[in-house]
Amino acid sequence: MNFPDTAFSFTLDAVCPVTGARAGTLHTPRGDIQTPVFMPVGTQATVKAMAPFELEEMGARIILANTYHLYLRLGADIVAEGGGLHGFMQWKRPILTDSGGFQVFSLSTLNRISDEGVWCRSHHDGTPHVMNPEWSMSVQKQLGSDIAMCFDQCAPWPCSREEAEGAVRRTALWAARSKEAHAREWQGERRQALFGIVQGSVWEDLRLRSAEDIIPMDFPGYAVGGLSVGEPHGDMYRILDSLKGVLPSGKPRYLMGVGRPDNLVEGVARGIDMFDCVLPTRNGRNGTLFTPYGAVNIKKKNSTNGILPPWIRSATAMPAGPSPGPISATCTAPGRSSPPGCAAGTISGF
């Protein structure tokens, strides 16, 4: 596949003047992605219980794969020999790969962290590995994703302020090394965009410090990491509020690892463009539905004596028709245009 020099760009089509919710288009060599967008997660090069054609039929425009897991079990070299993730999965649309940094957090009992990188043992067989920004950029190139993520350190929750400060400092250090390694790997080819990540746990001043560190590096997109690790939802929303006016408006904003319906709505209202989470497919495989009356497991025996539960009555009574649209009634953006009250769109090249 040939890639033009201006392979990636982001168009901000409309902004809600009340909430800051955004409608945009992320242009990639493998197709446009209308935002806000949710990315189904295919941890090991497959979205569990879903075939690629089913993902296309349901309207998925981009999916996510996991660098750490593909490196340890299967091997990035095998994926590369199979044509990269796109050829290996038979998925023609865009793919984003995470950096492996989240696994540094989630598998903390198996690793040691320093400024140089992470020494860890495989959770599969105990073999030792060294992971760092250079490793991450090399593996993500082999995987051939359209969007790669900088190697970062995700602080746990709860954590001390000192721990969060250390993660902010190291994330900035590793972001600079990631950018340099990414440039070396691709030698000027514009086949993969690299997004930066803002850390800082639940401290607003640390989040702003992290943003001040990362934004001058001029990445084509920015992610907010470390807000899906157990912290109260109120803290998540407070941090997003603090970053809404700080992250560059002309570039996509990605809230990592968030997928609850209420979190998605609240995130969109705070200017987030991209989301990912294993929750929808995990819940679907296990028969759990989100409803206005709470989560319902359809595999459990119903004890209503033939009377439809409220969530079924509600679902069957819902009228057919289009989605009610954005949160603010003053910003409907029909057909993704820019109606009165919405800020005019701008185009930012990567």
pLDDT at position 5, please?
Answer: 42
Average pLDDT over residues 274-289: 92
Q: How many CA atoms lie within 13 A of 300 on its CB side?
A: 8
Decide if pLDDT at 337 tops 50: no
Catalytic site residue from 13, 98, 152, 273: 98
Beta bridge partners of 10: 26, 348
Residue 10 domain-assigned?
no
Q: What is the DSSP letter of 84?
A: H
User: Would you say residue 339 has pLDDT above 60?
Assistant: no
Looking at residue 292, what is its pLDDT?
79
Task: Kindly report the backbone phi and psi dihedral angles of residue 203, in degrees, each rounded to the nearest multiple of 5, phi listed first.
Answer: -95, 120
The alpha helices in 270-309, defined as continuous H runs, are 279-285
Q: What is the pLDDT of residue 191?
A: 92
DSSP state of 318: P
Helix axis angle, 233-244 to 261-269, nearest 10°: 20
Say if residue 342's pLDDT is above 80. Answer: no
Task: Tell whether 185 is covered by a domain.
Answer: yes
Query: Considering the domain boundaries, does residue 90 fall inside one?
Result: yes
Q: What's the CATH number where 239 sits?
A: 3.20.20.105
Q: How far apart are CA 73 and CA 162, in angstroms?
A: 34
User: What is the pLDDT confidence band of residue 108, given thresholds at 50, 70 and 90?
Assistant: low
Three-state DSSP class for residue 26: strand
Confidence of residue 36 (pLDDT cuts 50, 70, 90): very high
SS3 51: coil
Task: Give pLDDT tens digits for 229-249.
Answer: 999 999 999 999 999 999 999
pLDDT of 333 over the 90 cut? no
For residue 287, the Cα-to-chain-centroid distance in whole angstroms is 24
CA atoms of 133 and 179, how far apart (whole Å): 9
pLDDT in tens, 51-85: 999 999 999 999 999 999 999 988 999 999 999 99
Whether 276 sits among the annotated catalytic residues: the reply is: yes
> How much is the pLDDT for 291?
82
| Average pLDDT of the residues in 113-140 | 92
Average pLDDT, rounded, for the chain: 86
Q: What is the mean pLDDT of residues 249-277?
A: 97
Q: Give the pLDDT band (50/70/90) at residue 102.
A: confident
Give 203's contacts (C-beta < 8 A, 6+ positions apart). 161, 164
Q: Is residue 98 annotated as a catalytic residue, yes or no?
A: yes
Compute the distance between CA of residue 346 and CA of residue 293 in angstroms, rounded to an integer.
40
Range of the domain at 268: 18-286
Band of residue 2 on the pLDDT scale cut at 50, 70, 90 = very low
Residue 15 has pLDDT above 90, yes or no: yes
Q: DSSP strand E in the chain: where?
A: 9-15, 22-28, 31-35, 37-40, 63-65, 95-97, 111-114, 117-121, 128-131, 147-149, 193-198, 222-224, 253-255, 274-277, 288-291, 294-297, 346-349
Q: Is residue 326 part of a domain?
A: no
> Is 346 within the bounds of a domain?
no
Task: Flag whether 182 is in a domain.
Answer: yes
Of 256-265, 293-302, 321-330, give the range with the top mean pLDDT. 256-265
What is the total count of domains within the chain? Answer: 1
299 found inside a domain: no
> pLDDT tens digit string along 176-230?
999 999 999 999 898 999 999 999 999 999 999 999 999 999 999 999 999 989 9
Residue 323 lies in a domain: no
